[in-house]
Structure 1
Amino acid sequence: MGFRSFLSKPLAKYIFNSQQNWMYNAPAAQNQWRTKLVSTAASTAFGRDHFFKDVASYEDFKQAVPIRDYEDLKGYIQQIIDGQENILWPGKPIYFAKTSGTTSGTKYIPISKDSISNHINSARDALLNYIHETGKGAFLDNKLIFLSGSPVLDTKGSVPTGRLSGISNHHVPAYLRTNQLPSYQTNCIEEWEEKLERIIDETISKPMSLISGIPPWVQMYFDRIIARTGKPIKDVFPEFQLFVYGGVNFEPYRAKLYESIGKKIDSIEMYPASEGFIAYQDSQYAEGLLLLADTGIFYEFIPTEEFFNEKPTRLSLEEVEVGKNYALIINNNAGLWGYSIGDTVKFVSKDPYRLLVTGRIKHFISAFGEHVIGEEVEKALKYAMERQPETEVVEFTVAPMVTPSEGLPYHEWLIEFATPPNDIERFSLDIDHRLAELNVYYDDLVSGSILRPLKITTLAKNAFIDYMRSQGKLGGQNKVPRLANDRKIADSLSIS
């Protein structure tokens, strides 16, 4: 046992015990954070504009703080960029996390000296929970790879600015830096395919034990290694023990990733966002991700069916119900207030509060009133893949075909298969059948002959890689939207 794994055991126990203090009493922790956040920001420009000094209860808070997106907050962000202090949070941000918006162009999300620990310590604590539960800490003694964005930071105003994964790279604990890969120089390469080849050069002969990244880009890393060596990943990296991922649902990628590895290994799912580290998988045996209720974020939840209402219902943590979909709203110690991050979640447990990420509030298909969401298409695909287990999916997206050249409208599923199903017609019918079970509106439209059953379009190898490359979004933390209400992505993929 190396010194890192040896020292991790008592630290893991300490973190686990500390976690027990709030995880079974999360609503109380949330109320304390709401009070603390409002009190701390009362003298900021935002706090004065929204009369924080008069906010005493959650009802007061809802009256004072409207739900907003980045466009609504942009004026305050611009004041920070212009050099002003005490705007959204006391002082100035220590970073801006740079991220792309669908309507706002580039977004600059503030990270403060108070909120940085949420981003950094939460990732650490997820690993320590794993060590505490399983006793497996040996991966810390070998090489660890984090497939992430460049750590090179620009400035916006006078604030250091970069991708969240690049910012986080500057805060990797010193005791892990000596076994972290890739090198800083390689990590700074902006062009993904060039960077990937250099990463392989640096890692292929090393004892890799932990690999972390978004599943489709990890799969690309594996594919390139297998092409070079002709060996499964387990033979290239016999010490490989733990896969850490986030950003997308793992299920569509699971079969192909495990086939590439050549054996089943443990995995940890994390839920980081530029706006805050929200949840992580704290157990290998319990369903869902533990909501981080005591790390500087006060959460609110809006039933998804009400999100676009003029006055939607806003719920605190103690008011949520298991099994319902909610749009996630955060208020944090970097100065985001009533902020919709665009994700939808569903709780699977309230003791403790564990959730699943079910999709994006703006990523759905409702061209005919069906409102099909990400969770439903992923469950339907999983069902079909279980019935034809030889099937391996590389990537997929779904779009409406409103005006086909002939026949009724339909949903088009554009799928790149690593291994196609033996019976593609049966596969399509299985997806359609399961989707109808999951979404009564879709069922009514198909059974009422307003829509015909879905159609699968099989895409050529690397279709999604080529599409993401054409958009300048290959690699890093970029993801292909599962659903769209238009055909911009679908038509681009069909042409390619």
Structure 2
Amino acid sequence: MALKPFLAKIFARNIYHKTQAWASNPIETQRKVFKDLLHQASKTSFGADHHFDQIKTFDDFAKNVPIRDYEDLKPYIEKVVNGEENILWKGKPLYFAKTSGTTSGAKYIPLTKESMPFHIESARNAILHYIHETGNSSFVDGKMIFLQGSPILEEENGINFGRLSGIVAHFVPKYLQKNRMPSWETNCIEDWEKKINTIVEETFDQNMTVISGIPSWVQMYFEKLHQKGGKPVGEIFKNFNLFIYGGVNYEPYRAKFENLIGRKVDSIELFPASEGFFAYQDSQKEKGMLLLLNSGIFYEFIKSEEFYNSNPKRHTIGEVELGVNYVLIISTNAGLWAYNIGDTVQFTSLKPYRIIVSGRIKHFISAFGEHVIGKEVESALQEAIIGTNIRINEFTVAPQINPKEGLPYHEWFIEFENEPDNLDDFADKLDQAMCKQNLYYDDLIIGKVLRKVVVTTVVKNGFQDYMKSIGKLGGQNKLPRLSNDRKIVDLLK
């Protein structure tokens, strides 16, 4: 065995045992994080405003620190952006991860010297857990590609800012620098289509072993590789055997990916965000991702159905239940306090605590009280294509409240790689699967409040064209799986 794969196995074993130490003592681990966060931020403006010096218990914290989203926290963040110190966290942040999507435009999420290492270590540890469990470490000698945003940063008031993936690019460990692709110059290309074409040219004749990115954009890369080589990606990259992804559920893409690759490859799911690195898949055998309880993040959980109540119950890690849909609330060593990141999760295991991302609290369909979430539409689609040769490129779902005739319905906009032989039969399967996923939806179908789903086909590259039209082609941008209005689908049409 070559030296690097051998050392990787030793390193992987050490990290596995360190993980087991905190994962087997979750409540105490979170208690220590909670106390440390309050202590380090006690002399900040936010800490003074919310009486951190008087907070002794979680109940004290919940009484003093209300749940906030970005807009609520914005007055504090604006002070930090303007260069003021000791506002949300001690000193100044190292970086701002700049993202879009709020009503007021850009969001600036702070990254501090305390929080930044966890973004790097968590991605690394996900790979090391895979090595420890499978014994496969040969890929570390090959080339690895991480499809990401530009690493070019701007500076304002002494703080650099850019896309999270671009910031992380500055922290690639030295032992991976020779393996990492694409080149720095290519990574700096802003135009996504030009960037992908250049990456194809750079990587085509390389020994690629690991490929990472959001599935929809990796799919675009694979399609262009296939166009250039005229054969499956797995034949172009004979040693490619590990796909690392995050941001969206891989399952709707899996059949298309396996067709493009020409064989199955192992995969690792990550749950990173600008606000923190929350979880990674620690096992190929178990469902869900290990929630990172020792990474400078204190977690709270609010049941989704109670979230919009005037005073919803805030649960800590020791109070969560399996299978319940929770809104994820975080307090971090980057200075976010009782912060609603907008994601919903469900626990698949309590020993250790593993989660799946079930959707977004603002991305749901409840035009008729059904409250359908992202996990349900993804699971229904997966069930509908089992045992068929149907392959899906992309999809989204929206309600049709005022049809020209007949009952209202949920409309599924799907870009097929392989269309069903009979679209009506496929819609029937999809509707039956949705009825299993959501009892309220089933009641509405039975009660003839809704009629069965309608499937509308989207032309090839229709979703890519939509994302391009709104300036969100590539990078870390994701298409919402479902919406409670028709803003997205009206543009698609």
TM-score range, shorter chain: over 0.9
Distance in 2 (CA, whole Å) between partners of 1:234 and 1:395 is 22
Q: Structure 2: which amino acid aligns with 1:431? A: L
Check if 1:390 corresponds to 2:389.
Answer: yes
Q: Supply the AA of the counterpart residue of 1:93.
A: P
Write the distance in 1 (CA, Å) between the matches of 2:3 and 2:225: 30
Aligned partner letter, 2:350: K
Q: What is the distance in 1 between the residues matched to 2:140 and 2:104?
A: 40
Q: Secondary structure at the match of 2:171?
A: coil
CA distance in 1, matches of 2:4, 2:80: 41
**Aligned pairs (5 A) from 1:88-237:** 88-237=88-237
* Structure 2 unmatched runs, 5+: none
After TM superposition, give the deviation of residue 152 of structure 1 in Å.
Answer: 0.4
Equivalent residue for 1:424? 423
Matched to 1:149, the amino acid is G
- The residue identity in structure 2 corresponding to 1:454 is V
Distance 1:239 1:402 in 2: 50
**Alpha-carbon distance in 2 for matches of 1:171, 1:256:** 32
Q: Which residue of structure 2 aligns with residue 364 of structure 1? A: 364
Pairs within 5 Å for 1:391-406: 391-406=390-405
Cα distance in structure 2, aligned partners of 1:211 and 1:371: 35
Q: Is the 8 A contact 1:244 1:268 kept in 2?
A: yes
Contact 1:322 1:349 in 2 (8 A): yes
Deviations 1:21-75 (A, max 9, x none): 1111111100111011011101100000000000000111111111000011111
Shift of 1:2: 3.2
Deviations 1:263-301 (A, max 9, x none): 111110000010000000001111110000001000000
Give the distance between the partners of 1:294 and 1:104, measured in 2 at CA: 33
Indicate yes or no: 2:83 matched with 1:65. no
- Residue 275 of structure 1 is matched in structure 2 by 275
1:205-354 correspondence to structure 2 within 5 Å? 205-354=205-354
Matched, 1:378 2:378: yes
Asked if the contact 1:81–1:158 (Cα under 8 Å) also holds between the matched residues in 2, the reply is: no
Q: Deviations over 1:106-129 (max 9, x none)?
A: 100000000011101000000111
Amino acid at match of 2:427: S
Residue in 1 that maps onto 2:441: 442
Runs of at least 5 residues in structure 1 that lack an aligned partner in the other structure: none
The Cα of 1:445 is off from its aligned counterpart by: 1.6
Contact 1:344/1:361 (<8 A) preserved: yes
Would you say the 8 A contact 1:70–1:104 is kept in 2? no
Q: What CA distance in whole angstroms lies between the structure 1 residues aligned with 2:411 and 2:104?
A: 28
Contact 1:327 1:340 (C-alpha < 8 Å) held by counterparts = yes
Summarize the alignment of residues 449-460 of structure 1 with structure 2, pairs less than 5 Å apart. 449-460=448-459
The one-letter amino acid paired with 1:77 is I
Partner of 2:491: 492
Distance 2:241 2:117 in 1: 27
Task: Name whichever of 438-447 and 310-319 sits farther off.
Answer: 438-447
Distance of 1:172 and 1:220 partners within structure 2: 24
CA shift for structure 1 position 467: 0.6
With normalisation by structure 2, the TM-score equals 0.99
Give 1:471's aligned residue. 470
TM-score (normalised: structure 1): 0.98
CA distance in structure 2 between the aligned counterparts of 1:216 and 1:102, rounded to whole angstroms: 22
What's the CA shift for 1:191?
A: 0.3
* Per-residue CA distance 1:379-403 (angstroms, 9 max, x = gap): 11111011x4201000000001111
Alignment partners' CA distance in 1, 2:128 and 2:427: 42
Aligned residues: 493
Q: Distance in 1 between matches of 2:464 and 2:150?
A: 19
Residue 487 (structure 2) pairs with residue 461 (structure 1): no
1:105 to partner: Cα distance: 1.5
CA drift at 1:4:
2.2
| Aligned twin of 2:414 | 415
Structure-1 separation of matches of 2:163 and 2:426: 39
Shift of 1:408: 1.2
The letter for the 1-side match of 2:362 is K
CA RMSD of aligned residues (A): 0.9
Q: Once the two structures are superposed, what CA deviation does each residue of 1:145-175 show, in whole Å capped at 9, x if it has no partner? A: 0000000011243210011100100000011
Opposite residue 254 of structure 1, the aligned amino acid is R
- Is the partner of 1:372 in helix, strand or coil? coil
Aligned equivalents of 2:104, 2:296: Cα separation in 1: 26
Deviant stretches of 4+, over 3 Å: none
CA contact (8 A) 1:3 1:141 kept: no
CA shift at 1:442, angstroms? 1.2
Alpha-carbon deviation of 1:104? 3.5
Distance across 2 between alignment mates of 1:289 and 1:397: 24
